[in-house]
Chains A and B, each alone.
Chain A
């Protein structure tokens, strides 16, 4: 057909609203458990208390941006240890690669906040308006009291969930009980209210109205995932060789010439993305598994084996069509690629844990002052200045002792301190101006540069750290 005798379709399309039908089954049950688990974690974690002593916050998980500290139960991360966070992010990335190469868009289908909150919002909609057909009827109906009442109630509940979502986010960044009271008494910071407002609105709009459009138009991750799947990746598909040719049941019986698909549209009606899985894997599919539940239920009812729609890999399809059995799930999951991802993931994880346990809870950074490189004193002594930052990553104040090795010529003193000891408060840091001096007649006094190692140790424990630097002599 030629295009000349047709009017081109509109460049813009209105969204077709989707009214997923209720479904029962193992995937649905698992998704409910995951939803409770993940929302539970999200809402409860900021309220867990963790005693760290009198000078420290007692919140188990706290991202204290103002004081630049990150608390996670017994672990405390300082800004200079941010590589832990970077490591966790890399692990999260590799974890996603692993799950995507093994199980396709499993993140999208079960764990993504967009999916979880949309699931919750659809359930709210179902409670208030009824199942698919009732919702469809209400949607097509002109505005009347019932529609206003039900829509109003639905939007109110959505909005309250949004407020709870946005509010809970803030609790990760401040003391939760204090912020909770402050939010309700109007004493919280403007930024806190803005955060709650923005996250309330994103939750409300994304979960209530945008839904599948976020996945289709806004999110880059599905597109990246598509590129990471291969022919061994397990994903949801329709066994067309078993189901086709599809046809309705006639007098409650299947025609022996027809396939198992009775074209009941159950898989289409439950789909939160509004697609027909029988067209094969497609861009919109988040692999939530609900069509599997819906189809299995129907297969049970018409006395056919389950699995007309199910998890399978592309490589299985040809084998299965040829009558051979499907490869086991474990063979799909344990492949060189997934083993490589797992090894990388675990390697970084182990390295981080080891780093976490061997790190000292004190730290020192030494910055030689090089303006000027050295100073000659009246008796000919040469002096170098170092800006030394001591960090006491401990919940009690401790006394630090500075000392030097590797260079017997030099002696150390601290500006404004009578000795070489200094007390640093609990979980605090201090910046010291430290002098190293080489008396006249010593090698370090006249040499260009000479090496020196500066130690910071703690009197009350065996912990100590060092930093290597150089001392500039008068010929520098």
Chain B
């Protein structure tokens, strides 16, 4: 068990005024069997009234609507949590066994799976998950700036490179082809100044975490912020706005201590 202080800051800047801006944030870590959120404080600027709901995957959603003209949206969360990775989560959903938008394999990824699946003789999900994560770390290179948040598992695999999001999508795709339910986790981890992504797979009775970008098991240094079938379900912020802006600048800073 570990006590952690976490913070997460995002600044979205537009180069012109926007209005009628609706947004949904997934920034408040969920209370789960193995993480207790002791306290937290959310600040959103410009001032806007917000509402909380819990979505289908168990994420806290903070929704708001900024009607008047503005040029930025800043949000920040600071809080304290107790993480205990010894305790395992059991909130299973069958949809995690089936392909999703960003994890559906193409022929190349399916062929890669078919070529390699028998190289691990074990039928134990824990062993197989480790095998596939190891396989990925041999096959793909960690590289920033070559993929974005819309990149599919198939596209990242084709170029054999990407970031934690891409590693997670490809691993999820492989695990689901293997008949192992797997979900995408967006969160904060030690040694990382940005948001991190990893994978939880169902071992038959509970979820176990694995971090394919680092090819290691997750521990008390990982704080779950959101979870879902793939990144789409977990986006930190999703928004729709009107106005003559042409680009938005996104700055993110995270801290886990």
The answer to whether A and B come from one shared complex is: no
Query: Which residues of A are at the interface with B, using a C-beta cutoff of 8 A?
Result: none
